[in-house]
């Protein structure tokens, strides 16, 4: 076999291997079985938060624009390769792109890419930040949550019946947060040791929590159910174990749960347990 045919054979072998892997994908096997039940996803879980669609929309816009740019560049490369290749009776033509025409063409393409990609994505992002992310709701309808992260757990605190933090009826949980459906949930987070990142993929929220600071994030869950809470910042050797559960329940069920949990917290309050009294004054 000649050395010229070796790269071609390697490319064909790579394509064949990818085709075999694709045929063995469980999702394809599921389709071939007539649509049997099972978890099949080609992407993240559908968002269940009020503003989660903004993240998905931006993701697909960026994916579409980058894919279009890639195809344009690929076509340009193919055109030049085919046009300037060596053929019988024709010598290959080499060009370093140093002419004034090439420089102008490069400048025009760069400006177009900047306007189509960077500028448009920046405009959409700033619009969503002002409309949703930075527009943190306030008022009596808001559920306030304090989160204290540590290696490797999430400590959650909700105000009890007195609606104040740092009192005997505070609802304190570890790795499990209950919130009501259809109400804004504002989370103030801090860290006990190192930098962590409060990440709820289904709500499309992610916010770093830092020692000595209080960072804010909010969401509004629209459907009941359980959702995974993760840490998106490498925080030590057990980082992979730092996960919890966000439980969304209907408003009526949550009111009953809050009343019972607040009563239990007040009945079991220990004045000497200073470790559990980590609450801070809430600031809007």
pLDDT tens digits, 239-273: 999 999 999 999 888 888 988 988 888 888 878 77
Binning the chain into helix, strand and coil, the percentages to the nearest 5 are: 40, 25, 35
Predicted confidence (pLDDT) per residue in 211-236, tens digit: 999 999 999 999 999 999 999 999 99
Whether the upstream peptide bond of residue 38 has omega within 30° of 0, thus cis, is no
Nearest-angstrom CA–CA distance, 248 and 221? 7
Please give the Cα distance from 49 to 57 (Å, whole number).
Answer: 14
Q: H-helix or E-strand containing 72?
A: helix 52-83
Tens digit of each residue's pLDDT (9 = 90 or more) over 123-174 = 888 988 898 888 898 888 899 999 999 999 999 999 988 888 888 888 999 9
Q: Are 233 and 211 in contact (CB under 8 A)?
A: no
239's tokens: 């980082």
User: Are the CB atoms for 73 and 67 separated by under 8 Å?
Assistant: no
Q: pTM (2 decimals)? A: 0.74
Query: Burial of 136 by CB count in 10 Å (0-12 exposed, 13-18 middle, 19+ buried)?
Result: middle
The answer to whether the CB of 147 falls within 8 A of the CB of 179 is: no
Q: Which CATH architecture does the domain made up of 143-276 adopt?
A: Sandwich (2.60)
How distant is the alpha carbon of residue 7 from its chain centre? 39
Each domain of the chain, given as residue ranges in start order, spans: 7-42, 48-135, 143-276
């Amino acid at each position: 076999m000649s050395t010229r045919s070796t790269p071609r054979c390697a490319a064909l072998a790579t394509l064949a291997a990818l085709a075999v892997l694709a045929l063995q994908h469980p999702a394809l096997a599921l389709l071939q079985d007539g649509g049997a039940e099972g978890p099949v996803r080609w992407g993240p879980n559908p968002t269940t938060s009020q503003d989660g669609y903004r993240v998905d929309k931006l993701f697909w816009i960026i994916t579409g624009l980058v894919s279009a740019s890639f195809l344009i560049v690929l076509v340009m490369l193919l055109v030049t390769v085919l046009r300037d290749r060596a053929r019988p009776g024709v010598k290959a033509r080499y060009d370093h792109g140093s002419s004034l025409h090439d420089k102008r063409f490069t400048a025009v393409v760069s400006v177009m890419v900047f306007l189509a990609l960077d500028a448009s994505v920046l405009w959409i992002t700033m619009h969503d930040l002002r409309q949703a992310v930075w527009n943190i709701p306030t008022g009596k309808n808001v559920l306030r949550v304090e989160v204290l992260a540590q290696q490797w757990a999430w400590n959650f605190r909700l105000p009890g019946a007195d609606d104040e933090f740092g009192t005997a009826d505070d609802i304190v949980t570890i790795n499990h947060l209950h919130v009501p459906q259809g109400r804004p949930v504002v989370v103030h987070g801090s860290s006990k040791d190192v930098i962590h990142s409060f990440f709820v993929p289904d709500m499309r929220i992610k916010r770093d929590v830092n020692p000595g600071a209080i960072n804010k994030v909010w969401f509004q869950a629209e459907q009941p159910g359980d959702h995974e809470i993760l840490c998106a910042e490498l925080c030590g050797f057990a980082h992979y174990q730092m996960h919890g559960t966000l439980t969304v329940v209907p408003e009526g069920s949550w009111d009953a749960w809050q009343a019972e949990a607040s009563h239990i917290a007040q009945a079991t309050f220990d004045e000497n347990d200073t470790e559990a009294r980590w609450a801070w004054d809430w600031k809007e």
